Amino acid sequence: PADAPWWTRAVVYQIYPRSFADGDGDGFGDLTGIASRLDHLADLGVDVIWLSPIYPSPQHDNGYDIADYQGIDPRFGTLEQFDQLLAAVHERGMKLIMDLVVNHTSDEHAWFRESRSARTAAKRDWYIWRDPRPGCTGGSPGAEPTNWRSFFSGPAWQWDEATGQYYLRLFASQQPDLNWDHPDVRRAVYAMMRWWLDRGVDGFRMDVINLISKGAFVDVEPVASPMPLGAEQYANGPRVHEYLREMHREVFAGRDAELMTVGETPGTPLEQAQLYTDPTRGEVDMIFQFEHVGLDHGKGGKWDPATLNLRHLKANLARWQDGLAGRGWNSLYLNNHDQPRLVSRFGDDGQALEERGDVEHGNRVRYASATAWAAVLHLQCGTPFIYQGEEFGMTNVPFSGIEDFHDVEAINHYTEAVTARGADPRDVLAALRLMTRDNARTPVQWDASVHGGFSAGSERPDVTPWMPVNPNYATINAAADRASDRSIFRFYQRLIELRHTDDVVAFGRFHLLEPDHEQLFAYTRTLGERTLLLTANLSGGPCVLPPSCRPADATPVLANLAEPAAEPAADPAVLQPWEARVVEVR
Ligand code: TEU
């Protein structure tokens, strides 16, 4: 522990800038808005801020389509404002990491404009161009070079009439994939990364970094997989580890002690994670795994939502805890800008109770379930990530018709399912409401004022946020939560503080208890002589603690509901709905 890297005790907070805070009052979040809310984050106690993309972008995928890696989109501000923000973050003792989106660029990036200008263009091979399938007319259905599918519905190939070839785009049609096999592409990316580090940023979150090395461009057989058809050819592809080690040598070597890197890696098994995060290999510090956030997907994938089986989740998280112990490092997350809201998805957001007029009860279960899940996540070994609004229990959104959705993924899916496959729009919308990424993307609800206090221009009637604020902002907002005697924010503060101050939380060995229990998530963390025990009832009914979870001698460390001692009537062997307790075993 003494010589462990700083990020092994750190907690990261993700900001989705367009929805965090609007400083200039145009309805769109920006850098001055972020700067105005830094004290909220410093109070929370987080160590690192991860900024989702703020670079110039046509915003087809909310900035994950980058047109210029070395600038700031004017909607967000200027480079000068960025430098000021970075300084303000550092002044408060926090660090700032950037989103690095280099599997693809925007189709408006100068590199791609040149690449698509002619087959003979100097940068033609910076992207992945292929002829139509032999004997087929380019642009006609089925003429794509392979049968690979996009993450955002439809084929992964985009026809370019002007030069008579297809380009690969695993995401939106405006997100052409870079050709990482070209050494000049890699050199350009590394130079850009050094430029940001020289400016003072503290590392990167690397978007779909495990997809950069494409294998063979061949048709594949349909397989049951959460990944799109074709993914086995490029997910954790043939040269990805070589490229990450090269990146490490070219960009991070000599200064990596101060930095942190996290790779976003959909479709990555534990065995690959062991390679990515093994510190002796010099690739990345940690990755985001996806298995656990796919456990409530049905046979038809994400748009076929199913109920989470708690036993499966426990088994999965325990496997990752064990599998990386002593040889790599875990990231810990249940929320980000691509996932529905935790408290609505796995907890009880209280909205049904509130609709029936029972606001108080609704708030109570929302508090309890949000904090129980937070405890389950934050007391594991790894680096926890908090997504904006999670720290005071923001919920999913009551979307109605398709016109309420903004995300390219949601809209493409709806179009394909309803128009091309003739699915019933009501079914498609029901699944979208539960699973859409838009749930996470409404403006942060700061207080009970107009538009939740998101925008500096809130009092002006002509200013509307780019996406409407969740209508529950008057009851669910940061100010109300922090003023409440049941504050989710305060519970997160204590979890973060525990990680900072207790080596058992940071480094203790994880051991899952009661793997088959349907309501209870229980585990111990042990370091040397000391053991912490977490018991969390992840259900809306009472839960009798099994003997393995009732040590004879234990001191309370943290609890989300009142301590049993404070309520003499309560039976200490029973966890109330959504109750979580942490004790030190004597
Ligand atoms: O996400 C990649 C990814 O695989 C998924 O999270 C994906 O967005 C979703 O699960 C599809 O169902 C990253 C970014 O986090 C996401 O916002 C971008 O849209 C995507 O890459 C493309 O850059």
| CATH number reported for the structural domain that contains residue 520 in this entry | 2.60.40.1180
Q: How far is the CA of 157 from the centre of ligand 1 (A)?
A: 17
Q: Tell me if 433 sits within 8 A of 175, measured CB to CB.
A: no
- Alpha carbons 45 and 498: distance in angstroms, whole number: 11
Question: How much is the pLDDT for 585?
Answer: 97
What is the Cα gyration radius of the chain? 24
Q: What is the pTM of this model?
A: 0.98
Domains held by the chain: number: 3
CA of residue 298 relative to chain centroid, distance: 21
- Alpha carbons 484 and 262: distance in angstroms, whole number: 35
Q: Residue 200 falls within a domain, yes or no?
A: no
- Alpha carbons 273 and 302: distance in angstroms, whole number: 23
- Alpha carbons 404 and 18: distance in angstroms, whole number: 17
Output the six-digit token pair for 195. 């430029």
Q: Residue 242 falls within a domain, yes or no?
A: no
Q: Residue 7 falls within a domain, yes or no?
A: no
Residue that terminates a domain, selected from 153, 168, 183: 168
Pocket lining: 66 vs ligand 1, CB cutoff 6 Å: no
Q: How far is the CA of 339 from the centre of ligand 1 (A)?
A: 10
Q: Residue 427 falls within a domain, yes or no?
A: yes
Q: Residue 122 falls within a domain, yes or no?
A: yes
Q: How far is the CA of 549 from the centre of ligand 1 (A)?
A: 38
Pocket lining: 231 vs ligand 1, CB cutoff 6 Å: no
Q: φ, ψ for residue 435 (rounded to 5)?
A: -110, -10
Question: How much is the pLDDT for 69?
Answer: 98
Q: Which residue minimizes the CA distance to atom 17 of ligand 1? A: 338
Q: Which of 98, 207, 338 to mutate to test the pocket of ligand 1 (most atoms within 8 A of CB)?
A: 338
Residue 221: other Cβ atoms inside 10 A: 7
Q: How far is the CA of 352 from the centre of ligand 1 (A)?
A: 30
Contacts of 372 (CB under 8 A, 6+ apart): 347, 536, 537, 538, 560, 578, 579, 580
Pocket lining: 432 vs ligand 1, CB cutoff 6 Å: no
Instruction: Specify whether 30 is catalytic.
Output: no
Output the six-digit token pair for 74. 């004017």
Output the six-digit token pair for 158. 């985009």
Pocket lining: 296 vs ligand 1, CB cutoff 6 Å: no
Q: Which of 109, 208, 297, 302 to mutate to test the pocket of ligand 1 (most atoms within 8 A of CB)?
A: 208
- Alpha carbons 162 and 164: distance in angstroms, whole number: 6
Domain residues for the domain of 412 are 400-435
∠ at Cα 523 (519, 526), nearest 5°?
170
Pocket lining: 303 vs ligand 1, CB cutoff 6 Å: no
The residue annotated as part of the active site, out of 73, 202, 264, 283, is 264
Q: Tell me if 511 sits within 8 A of 505, measured CB to CB.
A: no
Q: Tell me if 202 sits within 8 A of 95, measured CB to CB.
A: yes
Pocket lining: 40 vs ligand 1, CB cutoff 6 Å: no
- Alpha carbons 496 and 478: distance in angstroms, whole number: 18
Which atom of ligand 1 lies closest to the CA of 170? 22
- Alpha carbons 443 and 38: distance in angstroms, whole number: 16
Q: Residue 553 falls within a domain, yes or no?
A: yes
- At 155, which CATH number? 3.90.400.10
Q: Which residue minimizes the CA distance to atom 23 of ligand 1? A: 64
Residue that terminates a domain, selected from 415, 435, 455: 435
Contacts of 282 (CB under 8 A, 6+ apart): 245, 248, 249, 252, 253
CA 515 → CA 28, 295, 531, distances in Å? Answer: 45, 16, 19
* Ranges assigned E (strand) in 164-276: 165-168, 203-206, 260-264
Bridge partner residues of 204 (DSSP): 98, 261
Question: How much is the pLDDT for 530?
Answer: 98
Q: Which of 55, 207, 265, 405 to mutate to test the pocket of ligand 1 (most atoms within 8 A of CB)?
A: 207
Pocket lining: 101 vs ligand 1, CB cutoff 6 Å: yes
Which atom of ligand 1 lies closest to the CA of 101? 23
Pocket lining: 283 vs ligand 1, CB cutoff 6 Å: no
Q: How far is the CA of 207 from the centre of ligand 1 (A)?
A: 8
- Alpha carbons 80 and 481: distance in angstroms, whole number: 34
- Alpha carbons 455 and 452: distance in angstroms, whole number: 8
Tens digits of pLDDT across the chain (586 residues): 789 999 999 999 999 999 999 999 999 999 999 999 999 999 999 999 999 999 999 999 999 999 999 999 999 999 999 999 999 999 999 999 999 999 999 999 999 999 999 999 999 999 999 999 999 999 999 999 999 999 999 999 999 999 999 999 999 999 999 999 999 999 999 999 999 999 999 999 999 999 999 999 999 999 889 999 999 999 999 999 999 999 999 999 999 999 999 999 999 999 999 999 999 999 999 999 999 999 999 998 999 999 999 999 999 999 999 999 999 999 999 999 999 999 999 999 999 999 999 999 999 999 999 999 999 999 999 999 999 999 999 999 999 999 999 999 999 999 999 999 999 999 999 999 999 999 999 999 999 999 999 998 766 777 899 999 999 999 999 999 999 999 999 999 999 999 999 999 999 999 999 999 999 999 999 999 999 999 999 999 999 999 999 999 999 999 999 755 555 566 889 999 999 999 999 9
Q: Residue 486 falls within a domain, yes or no?
A: no
Question: How much is the pLDDT for 569?
Answer: 60
- Alpha carbons 244 and 234: distance in angstroms, whole number: 15
Instruction: Specify whether 416 is catalytic.
Output: no
Q: Residue 258 falls within a domain, yes or no?
A: no
Q: Which residue minimizes the CA distance to atom 2 of ligand 1? A: 208
Name residue, tokens 């400016």: 199
Nearest to 345 by CA among 289, 415, 395: 395
Contacts of 149 (CB under 8 A, 6+ apart): 155, 156, 228, 229, 230
Pocket lining: 349 vs ligand 1, CB cutoff 6 Å: no
